[in-house]
Amino acid sequence: MGEIVIHCEWLLTMADGQEPIHDAFVKIVDGKIKAVGPWQERVIEPDCEVIDAHDRLVMPGLINTHTHAAMVLFRSVADDLSLSPWLKEKIWPLEAKLTPEDIYHGSRLAITEMLLSGTTTFADMYFFMDEVARAVGESGIRGVLARGLIGTDAEAEKKLEEAVEMSKKWKGQADGRITAMLGPHAPYTSPPEFFRQVVTVARHHQLPLHIHVAETRDELEEISKNYGKRPVTYLADLGVFSRPVLLAHGVWLDEGEISFLSKQKIAVAHNPSSNLKLASGIAPVAKMLAAGLTVSLGTDGAASNNRLDMFTEMRTTALLHKVVNEDSTIIPAETALKMATINGARALGIDDQTGSLEPGKAADLIMLDLNQTHLTPCFNPESLVVYSARGSDVSEVMVNGEWVVKEGKPLKWEEEEVIRLAAKSAQDLLER
């Protein structure tokens, strides 16, 4: 890969205690960050490629910690419903018709949308994960993949075995860009004995778990009715939190549960747009952060969002919790940025590789084109990114030291072909 020096207008490293740097540089050697700091000519060495980014802001790539990528195929087919009818009457019947080819084309569309809007890592929970992994490998993005598991499925045990085989097959593939989790869907879709199996398998193979928890009031009522407990207690009694857990949503966690979870090996993926659209509620993010929980951001699937733009999630998070808490200082721009970058990496257990621009980490970075009306002037780059920027402002994207987007265009495949084939899959799916 050689040596690259990027000379930029602003640099946000997201390293602990590091302020934004004006007139800065990032030095990359063989795909990893070598050095960052205020610009100085002496960082340029013979045979070094120098990139003039004088009108660009450089920052870590965004990390989407909860999505179902191929659900882009269902974008706008089941809008304006609450979660239960949305799932049971619309989404699950469509998902029963999905083929591996559908998943591949849907995943390519989702990955393209994510890369073009600055996401360099995503955590996916879905089906036919070999196809998702194939798309990850081809695209250049970083993926943390979990096969979704429904414990009431007649083939649940077989699919758990498939999930383990998938994790073995793909872990560390694509130049180390693929890692794996197990994905038991939710407390209400798996009986206790299946959760115990999942925990045993996760322990044996040293795999983290990715699971929806406390997403809706209906979930609380159903678990309480069936087991006499709230979802967190139900899962804790089954040993789920003995493993590292990526807990998606956490909308209906109470203070006792937040306190308990803060002492466990768990992180929360907050999905504000999806929770708002499905009227699931508003997660107590400020209380989670105050308790020391690692809170990251996710888009959820495009069927319930309906976009995969992490800039939207940052802005929504910062604004929403100010209103809920009646406190304009809650979730400042810097915190929202951390949730979308370094917190995301911590939530996925890959913060030694990505999430911030620090020496030794992979060069996963994005550039924003500052030469635009809505990004002028730039007095505070962190606030500008959270409150003013859009996914469409991303001009360049690098993952593992390799350019995957330049001048707003994906480099690994033809965008028009990705769109055409995904649209055909979606249409065919509705007609089956």
pLDDT at 104: 98
Find out if CATH 3.20.20.140 is the number for domain 62-347: yes
Calculate helix-pair angle for 310-325, 333-340, nearest 10 degrees: 140
pLDDT at 272: 98
CA dist., res. 22 & res. 14, Å (int): 14
pLDDT at 2: 82
Q: What are phi and psi of 107, to 5 degrees?
A: -65, -40
List where CATH 2.30.40.10 sits in the chain: 3-60+357-410
* The two structure tokens encoding residue 33: 């960050």
DSSP 3-state of 121: strand
Query: What is the DSSP track for 365-411?
Result: EEEEE--SGGG-S-S-HHHIIIII--GGGEEEEEETTEEEEETTEES
Strand locations in 198-301 (E)? 209-213, 245-249, 266-270, 294-297
Find out if CATH 2.30.40.10 is the number for domain 3-60+357-410: yes
Per-residue pLDDT of the chain (432 residues; tens, 9 = 90+): 689 999 999 999 999 999 999 999 999 999 999 999 999 988 888 889 999 999 999 999 999 999 999 999 999 999 998 888 999 999 999 999 999 999 999 999 999 999 999 999 999 999 999 999 999 999 999 999 999 999 998 899 999 999 999 999 999 999 999 999 999 999 999 999 999 999 999 999 999 999 999 999 999 999 999 999 999 999 999 999 999 999 999 999 999 999 999 999 999 999 999 999 999 999 999 999 999 999 999 999 999 999 999 999 999 999 999 999 999 999 999 999 999 999 999 999 999 999 999 999 999 999 999 999 999 999 999 999 999 999 999 999 999 999 999 999 999 999 999 999 999 999 999 888
Strand order in the sheet with 294-297: 62-67, 119-126, 142-149, 178-184, 209-213, 245-249, 266-270, 294-297
List where CATH 3.20.20.140 sits in the chain: 62-347
pLDDT at 360: 98
Residue 115's alpha-carbon distances to 63, 68, 159, 403, in angstroms, are 11, 15, 30, 11
> Could you tell me if 330 and 321 are in contact, meaning their C-beta atoms sit under 8 angstroms apart?
yes
> By C-alpha distance, which of 225, 167, 159 is closest to 194?
159
pLDDT at 42: 81
